[in-house]
């Protein structure tokens, strides 16, 4: 069953997978125990997808657990909800007006005052922030002033400040997703915060990517972004880096859910350890990467479960999600990645291969080049430093490896081609090896089926049977299989197939593949 996870922040610390809860509790305790009555601006810095919104959710949870008399009033404000609107100042003050009077009797008088304050200063804050459309702002401001009698702004602010001070109740304004705003909106929002940051007993808790916000401010105003933020942010926090083991544990937990119904024998734990270490692990950097990646697998893997090697499929889907340009190169060049190694007898062939390799390597970020080359070398032995000959083909096809030319297309089409032999068909045939009659009847039925090229499906079945002779047919059953093949041999001949259907001598011999060092 496909399970998708919404890319939403966790709100309950009991669901913490990444170790955010202890930091969030310390932050909540600091906010609730702060004795400073003046306004305060705190910032939580972290890159996209690192868990800032989850930390904010946990802070809210811990604040809700405090006794009523010590519990701050939390006012959430997500400016992204209002992105595209011309006046974030009025939207912000409107949120305070909507929330505070309903949270405490001490704030009842704030409703009308905040409304008047928003109407009086909203346009002025926009103008001081130098946002786009100055003429439009002036027109709106003039229209606002002509609709009602203007109020004394300092007097309004003084009245609001007195109510907030007398209430002696801390207010925590939580502002998230600042780094999703346009540069114009980012500058406008910080202008609002700067203008209103001195309300007593009001703490602002802001969450954003510092580099993104600083660049937006510089782009919009020409001012040094870092210095601008320093003038507003009084207490900065860096989100603690995610513990790599916690990140891996979360990924493995999600992968277990996706791979739950994988047929026995297909998942090679040793191979997985090497593939994960070599190339997948460096691609997973933040919690959002886990969600994006496993959501993708939840959709794509069920379509080919049992027809692909799960380790190869996970690896190639990781390339598709995190390195899409490279994925396109692999998909478009099956002859360069699938199959076995060949001796490069001509200098031009070696040069062409090296040029091609350098081309796709250069598409990968420099920090990931070594690990990505190691990853693709694991998935596709043809491009690895080791040389692999044709004796490996049966083993690769038996294990449904992406490096086998017959299996390669399934990874990229997400379906088994019409007329191809499915793994469950082979498993069903092998289970009949104990009975020559049943085994022979199954092959005769395959003879009656036609592939897209018009030839009998039995040739493909017999070729695939060779992949399993050594490891999947018991020694006691080998004579029975041979007897069955001789009994029905003539009936399997396909006149349309000039190559013949099957080499019976190969049934009783299968050499274990061995690798050799490449030149």
Q: Is residue 1 part of a domain?
A: no
Tokens encoding 94: 């409107």
| pLDDT value, residue 134 | 45
Average pLDDT, integer, range 470-486: 79
CA dist 393 and 267 (Å) reads 18
Both 312 and 404 in one domain: the answer is: yes
The C-alpha atoms of residue 486 and residue 495 are separated, in whole angstroms, by: 18
- The answer to whether position 72 is within a domain reads yes
Residue 118 lies in a domain: yes
> What digits encode the pLDDT tens for the residues 8-53?
777 888 988 888 999 999 999 988 888 777 789 999 999 988 889 9
Q: Verify that 328 and 459 share a domain, yes or no.
A: no
How many residues does the structure list for the chain? 519
| CA–CA separation, 217 and 184 (whole Å) | 8
In sequence order, the 6+-apart residues with CB closer than 8 A to the CB of 230 are none
Task: Give the model's confidence band at 301: pLDDT under 50 very low, under 70 low, under 90 confident, else very high.
Answer: very high
State the average pLDDT over residues 102-117. 82
Look at residues 222, 238, 254 and tell me which one is the last residue of a structural domain. 238
> Which pLDDT score is estimated for 424?
83
Q: Are residues 497 and 351 in the same domain?
A: no
Segment 235-262, tens digit of pLDDT:
999 998 888 998 999 999 999 988 887 7
- Please check the confidence at residue 445 and state whether its pLDDT lies above 60: yes
Alpha-carbon distance of 360 to 444, in angstroms, equals 47
Per-residue pLDDT tens digits for 309-332: 999 999 999 999 999 999 999 999
| Statement to judge: residues 203 and 269 lie in one domain | no
Share of the chain above pLDDT 90, in %: 36
- 319 three-class SS: helix
CATH number, domain of 53, equals 3.40.50.300
Count the Cβ atoms, other than its own, within 10 Å of residue 286.
19
Question: Does some domain include residue 4?
Answer: no
Predicted local confidence at residue 468, as pLDDT: 84
Which is it for strands 235-238 and 40-45: parallel, antiparallel or unpaired? parallel
- Residue 399 and residue 433 share a domain: no
Q: Please indicate, yes or no, whether the overall pTM of this predicted structure exceeds 0.85.
A: no
pLDDT of 33 reads 82
DSSP, collapsed to helix, strand or coil, labels residue 348 as: helix
Are the C-beta atoms of 519 and 343 separated by less than 8 Å?
Answer: yes
Q: 191-237 pLDDT, tens per residue?
A: 888 877 788 989 999 999 999 999 998 988 888 989 989 999 999 99
Q: Are residues 54 and 196 in the same domain?
A: yes
Q: How are beta strands 516-517 and 386-387 bridged, if at all?
A: antiparallel
Q: Is the model more confident about 136 or about 400? A: 400
> Is the per-residue pLDDT at 381 higher than 60?
yes
pLDDT, position 150: 52
Q: Out of 139-143, 241-245, 432-436, 456-460, give the one with best mean pLDDT.
A: 241-245
CA angle 451, 456, 462 (to 5 degrees): 110
Same domain, 17 and 156: yes
Same domain, 256 and 327: yes
Q: Is the dihedral of CA 96, 99, 104, 108 positive or negative?
A: positive
Question: Is the per-residue pLDDT at 506 higher than 60?
Answer: no
Is residue 518 predicted with pLDDT exceeding 50? no
Q: Say how far apart CA 218 and CA 211 lie, in whole Å.
A: 11
- Residue ending a domain, among 238, 265, 291, is 238
In this structure, are 261 and 376 located in the same domain?
Answer: yes
| Mean pLDDT of the chain, nearest integer | 82
Classify each residue of 340-349 as buried b or exposed e, where b means 16 or more C-beta atoms within 10 Å of its C-beta: bbeeeeeeee
**Residue 18 maps to a domain:** yes
Residue 8 lies in a domain: no
pLDDT number for residue 508: 41
Q: Give the residue with greater pLDDT, 499 vs 417.
A: 417
The predicted structure's pLDDT at residue 444:
81
pLDDT band at 130 (very low <50, low <70, confident <90, very high): very low
Nearest to 204 by CA among 221, 220, 190, 218: 190
Residue 44's pLDDT is what? Answer: 94
Biggest distance spanned by C-alpha atoms of the chain? 105
What is the per-residue pLDDT for 344?
54
| Residue 369 pLDDT | 96
- What does the pLDDT read at residue 348? 56
What's the domain range around 356? 244-413
- Torsions phi, psi of 174, nearest 5? -100, 120
User: Within a domain: residue 6?
Assistant: no
Query: Is 359 in the same domain as 409?
Result: yes
Same domain? For 343 and 199 the reply is: no
What interhelical angle do 134-147 and 110-128 show, nearest 10? 150
Overall domain count for the chain: 3
> Which of 214, 238, 262 is the last residue before a domain boundary?
238
Higher per-residue pLDDT: 106 or 270: 270
User: Is residue 2 situated within a structural domain?
Assistant: no
Q: Which is nearest to 443 in space by CA: 452, 430, 424? A: 430
444-448: average pLDDT:
80
Averaged over 268-274, what is the pLDDT? 94
pLDDT at 114 over 70: yes
375/451 same-domain check: no
């Amino acid at each position: 069953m496909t399970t998708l996870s919404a890319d939403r922040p966790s709100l309950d610390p009991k669901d913490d997978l990444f170790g955010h809860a202890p930091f969030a509790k310390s932050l909540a305790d600091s906010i609730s125990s702060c004795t400073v009555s003046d306004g305060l601006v705190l910032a939580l810095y972290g890159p996209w997808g690192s868990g800032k919104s989850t930390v904010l959710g946990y802070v809210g949870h811990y604040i809700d657990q405090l006794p009523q008399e010590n519990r701050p009033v939390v006012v959430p404000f997500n400016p992204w909800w209002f992105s595209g609107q011309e006046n974030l100042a009025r939207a912000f003050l409107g949120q305070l007006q909507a929330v505070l009077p309903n949270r405490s009797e001490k704030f009842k008088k704030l409703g009308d005052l905040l409304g008047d304050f928003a109407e009086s200063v909203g346009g002025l804050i926009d103008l001081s922030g130098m946002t786009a459309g100055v003429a439009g702002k002036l027109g709106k401001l003039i229209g606002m002033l002509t609709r009602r009698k203007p109020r004394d702004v300092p007097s309004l602010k003084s009245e609001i400040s007195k109510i907030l001070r007398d209430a002696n109740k801390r207010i925590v304004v939580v502002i998230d997703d600042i780094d999703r705003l346009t540069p114009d909106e980012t500058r406008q929002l910080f202008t609002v915060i700067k203008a209103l940051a001195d309300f007593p007993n009001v703490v602002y808790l802001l969450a954003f990517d510092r580099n993104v916000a600083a660049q937006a401010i510089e782009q919009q105003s020409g001012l040094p972004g870092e210095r601008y933020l320093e003038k507003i942010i009084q207490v900065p926090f860096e989100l603690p880096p995610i513990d790599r083991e916690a990140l891996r544990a979360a990924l493995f937990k999600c992968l277990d859910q996706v791979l739950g119904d994988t047929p026995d024998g297909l998942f090679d734990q040793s191979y997985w350890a090497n593939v994960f270490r070599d190339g997948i692990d460096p691609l997973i950097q933040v919690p959002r990467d886990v969600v994006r990646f496993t959501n993708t697998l939840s959709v794509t893997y069920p379509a080919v479960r049992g027809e692909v090697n799960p380790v190869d499929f996970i690896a190639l889907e990781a390339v598709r999600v995190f390195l899409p340009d490279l994925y396109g190169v692999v998909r478009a060049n099956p002859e360069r990645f699938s199959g076995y190694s060949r001796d490069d007898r001509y200098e031009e062939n070696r040069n062409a291969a090296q040029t091609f390799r350098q081309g796709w390597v250069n598409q990968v970020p420099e920090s990931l080049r070594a690990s990505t080359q190691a990853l693709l070398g694991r998935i596709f032995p043809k491009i690895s430093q080791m040389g692999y000959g044709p004796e490996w083909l049966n083993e690769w096809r038996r294990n449904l490896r992406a490096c086998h030319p017959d299996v390669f297309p399934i990874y990229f089409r997400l379906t088994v081609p019409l007329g191809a032999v499915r793994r469950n068909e082979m498993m069903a045939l092998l289970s009949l090896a104990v009975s020559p009659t049943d085994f022979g009847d199954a092959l005769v039925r395959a003879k009656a089926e036609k592939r897209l090229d018009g030839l009998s499906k039995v040739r493909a079945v017999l070729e695939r049977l060779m992949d399993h002779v050594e490891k999947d047919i018991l020694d006691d059953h080998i004579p029975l299989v041979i007897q069955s093949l001789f009994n029905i041999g003539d009936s399997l001949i396909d006149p349309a197939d000039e190559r013949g259907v099957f080499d019976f001598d190969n049934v009783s011999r299968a050499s274990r593949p061995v690798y050799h060092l490449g030149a």
